[in-house]
Amino acid sequence: MSDTENKSLQDSVLEFDRLEDEAAHVSHSYTANDIQVLEGLEAVRMRPGMYIGSTSEKGLHHLVWEIVDNGIDESLAGYANQIDVVIEKGDVISVRDNGRGMPVGIHEKTGISAVETIMTVLHAGGKFGGGAYKVSGGLHGVGASVVNALSKWLEVTVDQGGKEYFVRFENGGKVTAPLKQIGTTDRTGTLVRFKADEEIFKETTSYNFETLDSRIRQLAYLNKNLKLTLTDERGEHPVCKEYRYEGGIIEYVRHLNKGKEVLTDKVIYAEGETDGILVEVAIQYNNDFQHQIYSFVNNIHTHEGGFHEEGFRLALTRELNKYARENNLFKKDETLSQDDVKEGLAAIISIKHPDPQFEGQTKTKLGNSEVRKIVSNIFGESLRRFLLEHPTEAKAIVEKGLTAGRARIAAQKAREAVQRKSGLDGISSLPGKLMDCASSDPRECEIFIVEGNSAGGSAKMGRNARTQAILPLRGKILNVEKARDHRIFENAEINSMITAFGCGFRENTNLDKLRYHKIIIMTDADVDGSHIATLMLTFLYRFMKPVIENGYVYIAQPPLYKIQKGKRMDYAYKEQEMDKLRAEYKEGYKVQRYKGLGEMDAEQLWETTMDPERRILKRVTIDDAIMADEVFSMLMGEDVEPRKVFIQENAEYATLDL
Ligand code: TTJ
């Protein structure tokens, strides 16, 4: 063994000892340390929000990611290639990997195992080393002990060296069955099972299959060859999904372009490593006018971009310009700007960094400046080679950029006109269709974007005119994915929204000027309504991302049914609720199925969908916007088949969980 290897081994052993000592104080002696560490997990229970963001449905799902991340770390370290997630009956979560198994070594002096230390000492997980690209225990990962702290019970089973070990914790991480061997085995790996504590997660401890499914699928795209499965055992028959992408982000890009006409058959792909930083980029142009560029650091979506995205954009613009110049594709003094080469681009930039610095408002901006050059070099070289080897496609990409550039200049004027109007130089410029509210304090003001004129009428009569404004839209709004700027800015519905909101758009978005702190999309609870909601979301996502990022956008949830018998009357917002109500009412009841908002009178609309005291609003988050993006591309795409399938599959529930 070399001296340096020996040295680092010693370091990690010392670190291990220190943690074991700390852990020993926890349960076997009453010292000052003892109290400190106990306060650790207790502190998590006192202020769970500080560790997992919130105790809402989102926080609940965070627990799953916290555990899954540990398995991902083991796979990034090269020791695991499968992770199985199961939602068991009673909303118990089980996560199993086939890695080396968490360390079970028991410290001579203290008798405490490493597993117990990791599960009971805050931030201990990361210290046990192993993988270089830790997702867990980092910025987003707070460590598996936090999950333990917030669980009614949690069990770890480790298969290692032919033996099976087991440990159980209860009521926020207190050991009730210390680690011991319970059998023999011929495999290796770690299994964690836990039940979220209902006293902490008061809103719900029930997991949403779609939420888990879409992130698990995304993790499969981002970690090629890692097999991830999700099984839902809560229903009568188990539902199982399995994901493994040999092509990784190449397949992710193909997925983003599904149903679109593409400029190159191949997805352009770059992969490389510099100074321990792994870089992967995959791109493919389509003939849309918008772009879909998503970047990730250690599997975390970096909404706010950062140096990896910058390096990517630099290389893309540089190489396309260089190629066009060298091959005489430019007339006179033409060049391609960063905006020109973005049009119609589907791209995934995924890096794995041993020490990422996350910055920005939502801590999703990569701040490591060395990454810019690394990504630029690795991607630039692959792109250059692709262009040289595929002259026909290279020419098509350059042409597309040039057309985009010309359209951009033509659109400038139209845009400036709208921008001036949206600067809100007086009430006179507000759209005629807007029924504004009396209050001018944005914090209490809401605007309902309503589909159809008849529903708009009921909404107007039913609303609280002091704080609630109504903007009725005529039919479907323009698909901003399929239109260039000058057409977008000519569109009456889009103009109305921009002027009503008052906050400007794109690089000029100014949230201080937003006139309503709740933008509520209110559409029918059917496929058409979902479609319109999706169009709205896409518009907001493309034009006013900060409005979504800051949580100002909501989707109203109108009821699906009204059920009535004698004096009793209830509304049902979901099929399951209706099933329950049917059972309660037994027989002799009347049911009305709402096919559209227009079927409700003003009073009904108020009490079911608009009254802040009684309504259900869904807040739209940025991840939803990406999902909407996917659903949207599919619904709007040229392929009829997936659209038909979607409509058939969703027709019964008639809602799209956005
Ligand atoms: C640490 O270094 C020695 C070998 O094992 C390394 C390790 O921590 N492996 C590990 C942990 N594999 N899997 C986990 C793990 C997996 C799940 C699903 C949950 C948790 C908390 C840890």
Nearest CA to ligand 1 atom 10: 102
The answer, yes or no, to whether any atom of ligand 1 lies below 6 A from the CB of 69, is: no
> If you measure from the C-alpha of residue 86 to the centroid of ligand 1, how many angstroms do you get, rounded to a whole number?
18
Side-chain half-sphere of 98: how many Cα atoms within 13 Å?
11
Annotated catalytic residue within 528, 570, 575, 577: 528
Atom of ligand 1 nearest to the CA of 118: 21
Distance (Å, rounded) from C-alpha 598 to C-alpha 460?
12
Query: What is the 3-state secondary structure of 370-425?
Result: HHHHHHHHHHHHHHHHHHHHCHHHHHHHHHHHHHHHHHHHHHHHHHHHHHHHHCCC
At residue 186, the pLDDT reads 97
The answer, yes or no, to whether any atom of ligand 1 lies below 6 A from the CB of 126, is: no
> If you measure from the C-alpha of residue 101 to the centroid of ligand 1, how many angstroms do you get, rounded to a whole number?
5
Whose CA is closest to 415, among 344, 491, 321, 329? 491
Contact 544, 505 (CB under 8 A): yes
> If you measure from the C-alpha of residue 129 to the centroid of ligand 1, how many angstroms do you get, rounded to a whole number?
10
> If you measure from the C-alpha of residue 161 to the centroid of ligand 1, how many angstroms do you get, rounded to a whole number?
14
- Domain(s) labelled CATH 3.30.230.10 in the chain stretch across 249-413
125 DSSP assignment: G
Give me the CATH topology for the region 43-243. Heat Shock Protein 90 (3.30.565)
The answer, yes or no, to whether any atom of ligand 1 lies below 6 A from the CB of 95, is: yes
Contact 456, 596 (CB under 8 A): no
Which helix (H) or strand (E) segment holds residue 365: the answer is strand 365-366
The answer, yes or no, to whether any atom of ligand 1 lies below 6 A from the CB of 72, is: no
Nearest CA to ligand 1 atom 20: 70
Strands 561-565 and 292-297: unpaired
At residue 422, the pLDDT reads 59
The token pair that represents 51 in the structure block: 């560790």
- Domain(s) labelled CATH 3.30.565.10 in the chain stretch across 43-243
Is-catalytic flag, 524?
Answer: yes
The token pair that represents 29 in the structure block: 């002696």
Distance (Å, rounded) from C-alpha 553 to C-alpha 549?
9
Pocket test residue of 67, 97, 134, 155 for ligand 1, highest count of atoms within 8 A of CB: 97
Whose CA is closest to 70, among 167, 168, 140? 140
Annotated catalytic residue within 69, 197, 526, 549: 526
At residue 578, the pLDDT reads 92
Strands 277-285 and 365-366: unpaired
The answer, yes or no, to whether any atom of ligand 1 lies below 6 A from the CB of 259, is: no
The number of angstroms, rounded, from the C-alpha of 398 to the middle of its chain's C-alpha atoms is: 32
Annotated catalytic residue within 20, 340, 481, 524: 524
Contact 92, 67 (CB under 8 A): no
Pocket test residue of 13, 70, 194 for ligand 1, highest count of atoms within 8 A of CB: 70
The answer, yes or no, to whether any atom of ligand 1 lies below 6 A from the CB of 70, is: yes
Is-catalytic flag, 451?
Answer: yes
The answer, yes or no, to whether any atom of ligand 1 lies below 6 A from the CB of 71, is: yes
Whose CA is closest to 226, among 400, 42, 316, 352? 352
The answer, yes or no, to whether any atom of ligand 1 lies below 6 A from the CB of 67, is: yes
| Distance (Å) of CA 557 to CA 184, 414, 574 | 53, 36, 10
Determine the residue type at 90.
G
> If you measure from the C-alpha of residue 51 to the centroid of ligand 1, how many angstroms do you get, rounded to a whole number?
21
Atom of ligand 1 nearest to the CA of 71: 16
The answer, yes or no, to whether any atom of ligand 1 lies below 6 A from the CB of 102, is: yes
Sign of the CA dihedral 215, 115, 92, 245?
A: positive
Pocket test residue of 66, 148, 190, 219 for ligand 1, highest count of atoms within 8 A of CB: 190
Q: What is the CATH number of domain 249-413?
A: 3.30.230.10
> If you measure from the C-alpha of residue 70 to the centroid of ligand 1, how many angstroms do you get, rounded to a whole number?
6
> If you measure from the C-alpha of residue 67 to the centroid of ligand 1, how many angstroms do you get, rounded to a whole number?
10
Positions in the chain whose pLDDT score sits under 50: 1-38, 129, 137-140, 424-428, 651-658
Nearest CA to ligand 1 atom 9: 102
Nearest CA to ligand 1 atom 22: 70
Q: Could you tell me which residues come within 8 angstroms of residue 501 by beta carbon, excluding any fewer than 6 positions away?
A: 422, 447, 514, 515, 516, 519, 544, 547
Nearest CA to ligand 1 atom 5: 102
The answer, yes or no, to whether any atom of ligand 1 lies below 6 A from the CB of 141, is: no
| Distance (Å) of CA 330 to CA 110, 184, 187, 388, 401 | 73, 70, 61, 17, 11
The answer, yes or no, to whether any atom of ligand 1 lies below 6 A from the CB of 302, is: no
Contact 321, 333 (CB under 8 A): no
> If you measure from the C-alpha of residue 370 to the centroid of ligand 1, how many angstroms do you get, rounded to a whole number?
30
Annotated catalytic residue within 451, 493, 549, 624: 451
Atom of ligand 1 nearest to the CA of 95: 18
Whose CA is closest to 393, among 266, 209, 491, 306? 266
The answer, yes or no, to whether any atom of ligand 1 lies below 6 A from the CB of 330, is: no
3-state secondary structure of 164: strand
pTM of the model: 0.74
Neighbours of 496 (CB within 10 A): 21
Q: What is the CATH number of domain 421-558+594-653?
A: 3.40.50.670
Contact 151, 194 (CB under 8 A): yes
